[in-house]
């Protein structure tokens, strides 16, 4: 073959993508750099699946090239996935102005793509996918004087890629320590292997020196062969951005907030990958320069714990409407699925890319009403599948069904994946009451109780949970559909500052007579005293929405009433604060006996 046209390029891309997908678990098993989170194979396979799903051969062929580029932006994950996507995007850009490539042009395209991939990385490291890309392009250039046929260039250069991959063992200390090659670089070589195989009637594996092939590709499941180090920074964050202001300036600003940054795209749309401890600050910086179209934030510490420090055989999952201190989530290794909030065109992950500290300032400046939504099915399914690789069972507890579609979305995902091992429970409550139920469940799991014992204990505790919320206004709850407009109009007319609870079905319920702002908290505490007299409070927590002074008063009063301190005091999540409003204070509790919420 003397020329590479668009049709042939597409066929080679698909062959390379399928080879990477086939090697997914091999790549996961040897993933130790830059973080040993065991997902390089999954990230590369996700990118390739996105290309297979989103791209189609069509005329004019530039539309096919554009569809591959968009698939790369949408599907790129992790360091290697981002670098790989930039490599493919650069190839597509080159091909847009060349309907067919001869040997010299093909080499030029590959050199350009390798250079663009290196440029996308803030601090390039040798011994990674970047090194193998560069060495492969150099090998192509060296063969050009001997042959301008594609097969004559590709087969010898593939052997050079194999050798370069083997050298990565000695280029990065962590790879040398574990005597393994770089996972991302290996994924790239597999892509080339599929790429070249489809160009030749003879399988490429038969063309390689047997000993070298076996040496490189015989690691197998290496996950038990090494104990990798915990991550330096906690989160692996990725953002797809519609850019409105200076793209270069945004990249420099974000780079200062973490490491391992890779940025691809242009002044219209770009994607950033970075390891960081402050994904919320990065989201804020992006909001100043454009809109977040898509985001993914992986908790690498929790991934490390899952791989190397599991405490139990049951994984506990919650959503972000569960208000419990972050330190407690870490203590019990609880996994969290964030709900979504849309503020002025940008979508945020509750408690991850949007924190309570900055939420209320944003809320007061919005040009249009904020909206909430349930997690994406892809997010839920990906977590469940990952957990089932490492745990016997998954117990997934969620916000009351009438308040959100999250429970139903998780139930559907569980039924598709493995209904016998994934147990989805409706907490029938929210916020701190939800947190207390989760805390009790986490303690039972850590104590080694069976999944059936844990489930029964949780189901027995749900009717004993209660929450009372003193809200400064019903405006936010009306807007969010939690309170009917007629109730809200009456409360506003009477200047009421009502107390809100949930009935036994998990639906919002107003009670109390005319409650003015000054007496609202007193009225709630009086009701709590009556409740405690009828049905003693075993455990309680105090929560607030930017109302620390009022919450301290509440803690003092509840300590006098019950004779014990709260289990914890914390701020409510943004997704809860959106409906409660700034200034809300709540007390959530577990009662000694079953509580019939409809009595209130």
Q: What is the pLDDT along the chain (600 residues), one digit of tens a residue?
A: 578 899 999 999 999 999 999 999 999 989 888 887 778 999 999 999 999 999 989 989 999 999 999 999 989 999 999 999 999 999 999 999 999 999 999 999 999 999 999 999 989 999 999 999 999 999 999 988 887 677 788 888 999 999 999 999 999 998 988 899 999 999 999 999 998 888 764 433 433 433 334 333 433 333 433 446 788 999 999 999 999 888 999 999 999 999 999 999 888 899 999 999 999 999 999 988 888 888 999 999 998 899 889 999 999 999 999 999 999 999 999 999 999 998 877 789 999 999 887 888 887 777 788 889 999 998 999 999 999 999 999 999 999 999 999 999 999 999 999 999 999 999 999 999 999 999 999 999 999 999 999 999 999 999 999 999 887 765 555 554 545 444 454 455 445 566 777 665 655 565 554 445 556 788 889 989 999 999 999 999 999 999 999 999 999 999 999 999 999 999 999 998 888 888 889 999 999 988 755 444
Handedness of CA 480, 462, 563, 567 (dihedral sign): negative
| Measured distance CA(573)–CA(322) in Å, rounded | 8
Which pLDDT does position 70 carry in this prediction? Answer: 93
| Measured distance CA(310)–CA(397) in Å, rounded | 19
Handedness of CA 53, 91, 3, 190 (dihedral sign): negative
| Measured distance CA(372)–CA(548) in Å, rounded | 25
Q: Is 204 exposed, middle or buried (0-12, 13-18, 19+ CB in 10 A)?
A: buried
Which pLDDT does position 474 carry in this prediction? Answer: 55
Q: Which residue has the tokens 């597409």?
A: 10
User: Residue 296: how many CB atoms within 10 A of its CB?
Assistant: 17
3-state SS assignment for residue 202: coil
Q: Is 306 in contact with 276 (CB distance < 8 Å)? A: no
| Measured distance CA(474)–CA(480) in Å, rounded | 10
Which pLDDT does position 360 carry in this prediction? Answer: 83
3-state SS assignment for residue 303: helix
Interhelix angle 129-143/103-119, nearest 10 degrees: 160
Which pLDDT does position 294 carry in this prediction? Answer: 87
Alpha helix (H) ranges present in 319-355? 326-331
**Contacts by 111-114 with C-beta closer than 8 Å and gap 24+?**
111/137, 111/140, 111/141, 113/86, 113/87, 113/88, 113/137, 114/87
Q: Which residue has the tokens 């070589």?
A: 189
| Measured distance CA(32)–CA(186) in Å, rounded | 13
Q: Is 451 in contact with 528 (CB distance < 8 Å)? A: no
What does the DSSP assignment read for 495-506? T---EEEE-TTS
């Amino acid at each position: 073959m003397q020329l590479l046209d668009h049709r042939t390029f597409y066929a080679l891309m698909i062959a390379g993508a399928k080879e990477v997908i086939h090697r997914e678990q091999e790549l996961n098993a040897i993933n130790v750099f830059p973080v040993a989170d065991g997902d390089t194979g999954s990230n590369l396979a996700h990118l390739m699946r996105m290309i297979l799903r989103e791209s189609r051969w069509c005329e004019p062929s530039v539309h096919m090239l554009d569809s591959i580029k968009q698939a790369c932006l949408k599907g790129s994950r992790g360091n290697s996935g981002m670098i790989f996507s930039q490599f493919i995007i650069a190839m597509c850009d080159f091909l847009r102005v060349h309907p067919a490539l001869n040997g010299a042009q093909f080499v030029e395209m590959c050199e350009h793509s390798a250079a663009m991939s290196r440029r996308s990385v803030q601090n390039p490291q040798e011994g990674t996918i970047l090194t193998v890309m560069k060495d492969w392009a150099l090998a192509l250039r060296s063969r050009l004087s001997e042959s301008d046929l594609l097969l004559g260039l590709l087969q010898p250069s593939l052997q050079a890629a194999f050798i370069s991959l083997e050298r990565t063992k000695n280029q990065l200390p962590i790879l040398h320590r574990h005597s393994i090659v770089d996972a991302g670089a290996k994924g790239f070589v597999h892509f080339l292997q599929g790429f070249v195989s489809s160009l030749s009637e003879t399988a490429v594996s038969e063309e390689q020196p047997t000993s070298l092939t076996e040496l490189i590709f015989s690691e197998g499941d290496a996950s038990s062969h090494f104990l990798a180090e915990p991550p330096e920074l906690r989160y692996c964050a990725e953002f797809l951005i519609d850019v409105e202001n200076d793209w270069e300036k945004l990249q420099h600003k974000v780079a200062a907030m973490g490491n391992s940054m890779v940025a691809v795209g242009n002044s219209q749309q770009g994607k950033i990958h970075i390891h960081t401890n402050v994904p919320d600050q990065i989201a804020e910086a992006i909001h100043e320069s454009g809109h977040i179209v898509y985001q993914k934030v992986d908790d690498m510490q929790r991934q490390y714990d899952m791989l190397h420090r599991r405490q139990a055989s049951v994984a506990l999952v919650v959503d972000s409407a569960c208000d419990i201190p972050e330190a407690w989530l870490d203590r019990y290794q609880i996994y969290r699925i964030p709900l979504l909030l849309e503020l002025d065109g940008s979508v945020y992950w509750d408690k991850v890319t949007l924190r309570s500290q900055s939420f209320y300032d944003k809320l007061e400046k919005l040009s249009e009403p904020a909206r909430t939504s349930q997690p994406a099915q892809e997010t839920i399914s990906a977590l469940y599948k990952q957990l089932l690789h490492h745990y016997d069972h998954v117990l997934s507890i969620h916000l009351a069904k009438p308040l959100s579609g999250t429970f139903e979305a998780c139930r559907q995902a569980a039924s598709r994946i493995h209904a016998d091992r994934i147990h989805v429970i409706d907490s029938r409550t929210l916020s701190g009451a939800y947190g207390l139920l989760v805390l009790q469940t986490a303690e039972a799991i850590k104590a080694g109780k069976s999944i059936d014992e844990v489930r029964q204990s949780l189901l027995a505790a749900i009717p004993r949970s209660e929450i009372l919320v003193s809200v400064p206004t019903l405006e936010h709850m009306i807007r969010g559909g939690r309170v009917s407009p007629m109730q809200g109009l009456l409360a506003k007319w009477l200047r009421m500052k009502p107390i809100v609870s949930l009935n036994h079905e998990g639906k919002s319920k107003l009670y109390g007579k005319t409650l003015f702002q000054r007496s609202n908290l007193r009225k709630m505490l009086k009701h709590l005293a009556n409740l405690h007299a009828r049905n003693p409070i075993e455990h309680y927590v105090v929560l607030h929405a930017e109302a620390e002074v009022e919450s301290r008063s509440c803690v003092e009063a509840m300590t006098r009433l019950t004779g014990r301190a709260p289990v914890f005091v914390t701020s409510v999540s943004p997704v809860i604060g959106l409906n409660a409003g700034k200034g809300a204070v709540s007390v959530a509790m577990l009662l000694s006996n079953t509580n019939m919420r409809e009595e209130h």
